[in-house]
Each structure stands twice: as structure tokens, then as C-alpha cells.
A and B are shown apart, each in its own frame.
Chain A
């Protein structure tokens, strides 16, 4: 199912003619109906006019996206700056194009986005890749820091921290390691102190982020 949302009948008619051969097409002309169709219909693709009444910019679109996580959003606009387009992609939009796009090209956009592709201008694709590179560097830095901290744990403390990372309770850990629950608690107190964390949730996040992708940390123990 493809959903078209615009207050302009002219837009809706043109878009519908462009893509009617792809999937069943439904239209929304007001926000209440659009919300309802997103929640109930879970369309595969939504073609949304950026000037749709009642939607407040990127934030409004982000709220709509939460109504149907499986729907891929394509935003159509008369004019959209590179900055606005970038903001839209950062909230998870899968395609952006002009609302007066040629029929044949709109069909290509919908098909491409349907296949999991991203319809993004070339100048922004570099920016997107750059974002990934920056994040990867940051993650690597975090992993290195966490690995260093985890290397301060004893073999037993590391073992227990890993099990906490797997979501196990103190009782389960005690049973698995054939020790008392009290001993588990004592080890965990020491782990919290060494890693300077206050609770097991934070410990789990740290261990998970490090252990799942770092074999060196484990080898050190």
C-alpha cells in the first residue's frame, strides 16, 4: 500500500497517475485521516507534501514516523534547501524530491525507496558517509576506553560483568558459576567501584558495547 498525503488535489492527482501501477494507492487530505491511515494501514510508502497542513516541519514529520515505523517516508516539496533536506534524512526520511517531479521519475523514486534505497542528492550522500565515519571513530574510541577499564577487572569480575551484560540476574549468575548470590554481589560492588558506574543497567550497556565486538578484551583475561 502506498499512501499519498497533500492538501493539493492537483498534487494528489499527478502523484497518483505516476504510481498507480505499483501498488494500491490511498490518499489523505487532512491530518486526522493521515494519522489514522498510518496507524491502521501501515503503508509501505508515504509520499508526504512538506506543506501538509498541521505538520510542523521536521519535528512534525518525526512524530508521524513514530505512528508507523515500517513506513518509508518520501517528502515532496516545491523548494527544499540542502540543510532542510539533511535534517529530514537525519530523522529517518528515505527520499526527498520536488513536488512537481516528472511522473516517470516519481515512479523511479518510489520503486527505489521500496527496495531499501535512499533517494538523496549527491552532495548530501558525502555528508551521510562522513557522519558514519565520524560515528565509527567515536565508537572505536569508546571501545578502546572501555577495554582499558575492563582490563582492570579480575578474571572473575570480568566474567560476572559479562553475564550482567547478557541480562542475567544475580541469582542466575550465582547458579551458573556455582557461587553464592552474596559473592556475586560482592564482586559486582567491586566492578561498580572500578568502573565508576552506579547500576547494572549502565554496566550492561558498557560491557555489551565492548565485549560483543572486541575479542581482545576477552583475550586479556
Chain B
């Protein structure tokens, strides 16, 4: 079995440690250095520059480490999350992002994360076996989303096709 490299972007050290332990127990999974080390510098910066600096730091760190899978905690980065996912997806195309969420997060927020390039999502409360399975599935180029979310994605794609077909696309070209 080929080794899959995994990194975690989560500001909560306790939760990050727990996930690290969980993943380390999985055969063929190598947990890489903490990508939040770089963004730790950003904590001392003022709020306005914090998110931009944090995005830049994390993108740089992920570019350097080049993990195959990045578990990205959606709640850790607030309003900057989507831009960060989009930047990671653009700058680090070989790294696949799996979003981590709290149990009660809105589906719409997950859908936006997926639309910006995440390859899957899991809640922190998910069973250990799902984390390990998600790593394998996403590593193989597939995605880790529920059939229900696929239904939401399809609805959005169909809506967007009709919206884009109504003129604004031609205008912007």
C-alpha cells in the first residue's frame, strides 16, 4: 500500500492533536508537520491583516510540504475560509482538501467550500474509519461527499447553468 501524506490545518491544538493521533494509527498514512506553525506568526498581527497573512502563510507551508491530503477545519478561519480553500486549490493543485466541520454547520457553507475546490468533508465527530477511508478515496482522485450533498451540487449546477445562460457570461467576455 502506497503511503499517503496528510497535513492538518486547524487552529485548535487539542483537536488537531486528536486527529493526528487518529490518522497515525492508519496503515500507509504519514502525518506531516503542522501547517499551523507558519500561521502562528500571524496571531500577533492585527485583525485586518490577520486573514490575508494567515492565508499566505498556510499556502506557503502547504506548497513547501506538499501533502497529498489537507484536512482543513472550516471553523478555524472564519470568513477567510473560502478564499483560503480557493487559494490552496489554485496554488497547490497536487494537494486535495478535505474540509472538517462541527456537527451543526449549514449545508450551504459546505457546498461553498466544495465549490471553491474542497474534495470532501467530514465532521469531527465522524467515526475513525471514515477518516481513514476518506484519505484513501480522495487520494485515488475520488471525492468524499454524501449522496445528499451530491443532490445539492446537482441542483446548484443546474441553477448556475440557467443563470450563466442568461446573458451575463457574454457580457463579461
B-contacting residues of A (Cβ < 8 Å)?
Answer: 89, 92, 94, 112, 115-120, 122-123, 125-126, 128-129, 131-133, 135-136, 138-139, 141-142, 145-146, 197, 202, 205-206, 209
- Residue interface mask B129-165, A partner, CB < 8 A = 1: 0000000000001110111101111101110110110
CB distance from A125 to the nearest CB of B (A): 6
Interface size for B (C-beta < 8 A) is 31
Contact B148 A117 (CB under 8 A): yes
B48: Cβ under 8 A from any A Cβ = no
In the complex the two chains form, is A133's CB within 8 Å of B116's CB? Answer: yes
Asked if residues B116 and A138 are in contact (CB atoms below 8 Å), the reply is no
Contact of B167 among A133, A138, A141, A202 (CB under 8 A): A202
User: Contact at A128–B150, with CB atoms within 8 Å?
Assistant: yes
Q: Does B44 contact A (CB under 8 A)?
A: no
Q: Is the CB of A129 within 8 A of B151?
A: no
Q: Decide if A146 touches B153 in the complex (CB within 8 Å).
A: no
Are B156 and A209 in contact (CB-based, < 8 A)?
no
A112 to B149: give the CA distance in the assembly, Å: 12
Cβ-defined contact, B151 with A117, below 8 A: yes
Question: Residues of A contacting B164 with CB < 8 Å?
Answer: 135, 138-139
Residue of B nearest to A130 (CB): B143
Q: Is the interface of B mostly helix, strand, loop or mixed?
A: helix
| Cross-chain contact A136 with B158 (CB below 8 angstroms) | no
Bound Cα distance from A138 to B88, whole angstroms = 18
9 pairs of A and B residues whose beta carbons are closest in the complex: A117-B147, A118-B150, A136-B115, A142-B172, A145-B172, A118-B151, A116-B151, A135-B160, A209-B168
B13-54 CB contacts (< 8 Å) to partner A: none
B154 with A118: CB separation less than 8 A: yes
The answer on a CB contact under 8 Å between B115 and A202 is no
**Is B99 an interface residue, CB under 8 A from the partner?**
no
Contact B157 A132 (CB under 8 A): yes
A131 touches B172 (CB 8 A): no
Question: Given A128-B157, A133-B115, A142 and B151 touching (CB < 8 A)?
Answer: no
- Which residues of the other chain, B, contact A206 by a CB distance below 8 angstroms? 168, 171
Nearest chain B CB to A118's CB is how many angstroms away? 4
Chain A residues lying within 8 Å of B150, measured Cβ to Cβ, are: 117-118, 120, 125, 128
- When the two chains form their complex, are residues A133 and B117 in contact, meaning their CB atoms are under 8 A apart? yes
Contact B167 A205 (CB under 8 A): yes
Residues in B whose Cβ lies below 8 Å from that of A133: 89, 114-117
Cβ of B151 and Cβ of A205 under 8 Å apart?
A: no
Are the CB atoms of A94 and B151 closer together than 8 Å?
yes
Known: A205-B166, A209-B163. 19 other contacts (CB 8 A): A89-B154, A115-B148, A116-B151, A116-B152, A117-B146, A118-B150, A118-B151, A119-B147, A123-B142, A125-B143, A125-B145, A126-B142, A126-B143, A128-B150, A129-B119, A132-B160, A135-B157, A138-B164, A146-B168
